[in-house]
Structure 1
Amino acid sequence: MKYIPALDGIRAIAILLVLIFHWFPTNHWINTIPNGPVGVTLFFVLSGYLITSILLGQRDSQSFAKSFGNFVARRALRIFPIYYAVLTSLLVLKSFGIQIVSDFYGHPGYYWSYLYNHWLEQSQNWSDMLSPYWSLSVEEQFYIIWPILILGISTKKSLLSLLWATTLLGLVARFVLIHQYAGIGVYMITCVDTFAWGGLLAYYIREGREEQVRTFTKWLIPLAMLGFLITTLLMSDMNLGKQLFFRTFTSILSAGLILAALKSGFLAQVLSTRLLREIGKVSYGLYLYHMLIPDLFYQLMNRLHISIHDPFHIYGIVVLFTFSFISYHVFEKPIQSLKRYFV
C-alpha cells in the first residue's frame, strides 16, 4: 500500500481525542462528547481498513502460510518492542521504589499475554493507569483472528458476507455481554464490528466501487451523525440504544472520515499538515505512554524535591510528547526497518 499522509492525520485526531478524554475530568464540558471512546473506535476502524486492505492484496499474490507469517511478523515488529519495554521498565522501576497505580503488579499475566481486556472486564477497575491497554489487547486479538479469516475464505462473496455478518456480531455481543450481563464492553467480540466497518470500506474500494460508496455515504453519514448525537447527548450508559449503537454510529462516521481522507480535497490537505502527520506517526507511543510518563515525571520531581506548580499539566504534556518523539526515532523506527524482510 502506498503511503497516504492524511491517514497519519487521522491517527493524530484519534490520539488527541484520547489525550483530551484522560487529561480532563469526565464531567468537564470538553468531554461532553465521549472523546476517549470516539478516539479508540476511530483507531479500530482505521486498523480494520488498513489491515483488510493489506490482506486483500496478499490473497492474490502469496500463499496462506507466507501471507500470514509476514503479516504477523510485521505487526509484531510494530507493536511488541515498546509494549514489552514499558512493562519491563515498570518492574525495574518498582525495584527502585517507584510504582504506578495498576493491577499489573498483582496480575501481570494478563498484561504480558495481551489478555488485559479480560481482566478489566472482571475487575472493571478504570483507575488502573494501564486501563487504556485494554484496546491494545483487543487489537492484538483481532490481528490473530482476522488474517486467518480474510486469507482463508476462498470466494469474494463469502468474504463480503463475513464482513457484513461481523457488523451484526458486534451488536449481538454487546446486547448479551453489556446489556444482559452488565459488562463494560472491552471484550474483542463486543468491538469486532468496528473493525468490520473499516474492512467493508477496504473491500469496496478494492473492488473498484469507491464512487458508489461515496454516493451511498452522502445520506448515510448525516443519519449516522444524528444517531451519534442522540446516543451521546440524550442517552445514558445504561440505555440499550447507546450500548448497542454508539460504536456503530461512531464506526460509520470514522469510515466516512477515512473515505474523505483518501480523496484529494480540503479535508485531506488539513489532515496531511506536517504537525498532524508527525503526531500521527508517534501516536502508538503516545497511547502507550500518556498515562505513565507524566505521572513518573511528577514522581521524579518529588523525589528530587523540585516543586512544580502545574495545574494544567503543561510540563507533563511537554515531557510526554518529547519522550514519545524520542522513542519513535531512537527505538521504534530502527526496529520497524526490519519489516523489509517480511514483504
Structure 2
Amino acid sequence: MQRQPEYFSQLDGLRAIAIILVILFHWFPEGQGINVLANGPLGVTLFFVLSGFLITRILLLSRAAVHETGIAQIYKHFLLRRVLRIFPLYYFLLFIIWQAKSIPFIPDINTDFYIYPAHYILYISNFLLEKTTNWSDLLSTLWSLAVEEQFYIFWPLVILSVPLRYMEKVIAGTILLGIISRLVLSFFGHNLGVLMPTCLDAFGLGALWAFVMIYHESPEIFLRNLKIFAAGGLAFFLFFCFTQVDSVLLTLFFRTSMAVFCLFFVAHASYRKGFKSVFGKILDNSALRYIGKISYGLYIYHMVVPSILLPLILKIVHRIFKVEIILTDAVGKTLSLALVITVASLSWFFFESPINGLKKYINLRTVRMRLNRH
C-alpha cells in the first residue's frame, strides 16, 4: 500500500469546473450556443467520478481496521460523516421550498415536491423523475444527490467486505454493470439515466483509480493507458453532442465516454502534485479552488436563486421604494451569479462548515492516519 496525501488541492479546481458546467447548462438554452455540448451531464458525471474516487479511497484505507473495529463500526462512521456533509443543506433547501409556498409575494414554484414530498425527503427523487420526466421541476437537479446517497449506502459494504484479491475485478464488474443496466432498463422505458445503477460506470471508474493509486506498484502505467482511452472518450462525447444521434450507442456509451474523459483529469489531478502544466496552475488558482470548496452550496442554490430569490428581491425593492426594475437577460444572469456565490459563501461559513467540523468526533480520520503508517 502506497502512502497517499490527505488532500488533493487540484480536485477543488475540478469541482469548480463541474459546477460551472452545470450552471451553464441550466441557465442557458439547451442545445444552443455554449450548450451545444452536454455541459450539465458532463459536470454531473465529473462529480460522480470524483465521488467514486474519493469515497473508495477512504474506504480502502479503512479496510485494515476491519479486524479491530468490525465492518459495522466503519460503515456507521462513514455514513455519519456523509450525513453531516450532505443532509443539513439538503433538508434546509427542502424546508425553504416548503415554507415558500405560503408566502404570497414569492413567485409560484414549479416543483413536484408539494405533491410527492416523501420522494425528496427519502432521497429517492430520481425514481420520481424517471416516472414523471418533469425536468422543469425546480428541484429536478436533486436527482444526482439521490443517486449519490443511494451509492453511499451499498458501496462501503462492497469495499469493506470483498477480499482484496478480487477487488479490481469487482470494480470492473461495477463499471460494466452501469453500462448493462442502461441497456436493460431502456427496454422497459426507463432511459433517462437517473437511476443509481445507470451511473455505476462513472462511480466505478473513479473507484478503479483509487484502487490503482493505492495498490499498484506503477500507477504511471495506468495513467499512460488512460490518455488513449480518454481521447477515445472525448471523441465519442463530441460525436454524440454534434450528431444528436438517438440510438442504442447513445444509451450504452454516452455517460461512459464522459466518465472516461473525466477520469483522466481526476487521476492526473490527484496523483503526486497533480498537473504541472498551465492547466495545473489554473486548477490551483485560489479563486477556482474557492468555487470548488463551496460547490455543494452552489449546486443546491443555483436553481433557487434566479427563480425565487432574485425575483423576491426585486419585488421587495418595488414595494419599499416604489421602483420597478426590469432586468435584461444578461444583467439578470450576472446578478444571479453574484447572488448564488454570496448565498453559497454565507452557507459555507455559517452553516455547512460548523456542521462539517463535527466530523472530528467521528473516528474515521484516525483510522486512515494509522493505516498510512503501515
Contact 2:191 2:251 in 1 (8 A): no
Segments of 5+ residues of structure 2 without an aligned counterpart are 319-323, 364-374
TM-score by length of structure 2 reads 0.88
Give aligned pairs, total. 341
Which of 323, 337, 343 is residue 357 of structure 2 equivalent to? 337
8 Å Cα contact 1:15/1:283 also seen in 2: yes
Q: What residue number does 1:280 align with?
A: 292
SS class of match (1:135): helix
| Distance apart, 1:157 and its partner CA | 2.5
Indicate the larger mover: 284-293 or 156-165: 156-165
Mapped partners of 1:329, 1:42: distance in 2? 25
CA distance in 1, matches of 2:191, 2:298: 28
* Deviation at residue 232 of structure 1 after TM alignment: 2.1
Deviating 4+ runs (over 6 angstroms): none
The answer for the alignment partner of 1:265 in structure 2 is 276
Q: TM-score, normalised by structure 1?
A: 0.96
Distance 2:113 2:190 in 1: 24
Deviations 1:106-133 (A, max 9, x none): 1100000000000000000000011110
Following superposition, the deviation at residue 264 of structure 1 comes to 4.5
- 1:321 paired residue number: 341
Which residue is equivalent to 2:370?
Answer: none
- Write out aligned runs for 1:131-170 (5 A): 131-153=140-162, 155-170=163-178
SS in 2 for 1:73: helix
Whether the 8 Å contact between 2:31 and 2:37 is mirrored in structure 1 is no
Distance 2:227 2:329 in 1: 44
Report which stretch shifted further, 115-124 or 26-35: 26-35
RMSD: 1.4
Separation of aligned partners in 1, 2:160 and 2:196: 20
Q: Distance in 1 between matches of 2:235 and 2:49?
A: 19
> Which structure has the larger Rg?
2
Asked whether the 8 Å contact 2:22–2:39 carries over to 1, the reply is yes
1:38 is aligned to 2:42: yes
Task: Give the gaps of 5 or more residues in structure 1.
Answer: none
- 2:61 is the alignment partner of 1:57: yes
How far residue 181 of structure 1 moved from its aligned partner, in angstroms, is 1.9
1:232–1:246 CA contact under 8 A, matched in 2: no
The percentage of aligned residue pairs carrying the same residue is 40
Please state how far the C-alpha of 1:179 moved relative to its aligned partner.
Answer: 5.2
CA offset at residue 268 of structure 1?
Answer: 2.5
CA contact (8 A) 1:228 1:249 kept: yes
Q: Which moved more, 1:297-306 or 1:24-33?
A: 297-306
What is the deviation of 1:182? 4.8
Q: Contact 2:179 / 2:198 at 8 angstroms: preserved in 1? A: yes
Mapped to 2, the partners of 1:301 and 1:150 lie a distance apart of: 48
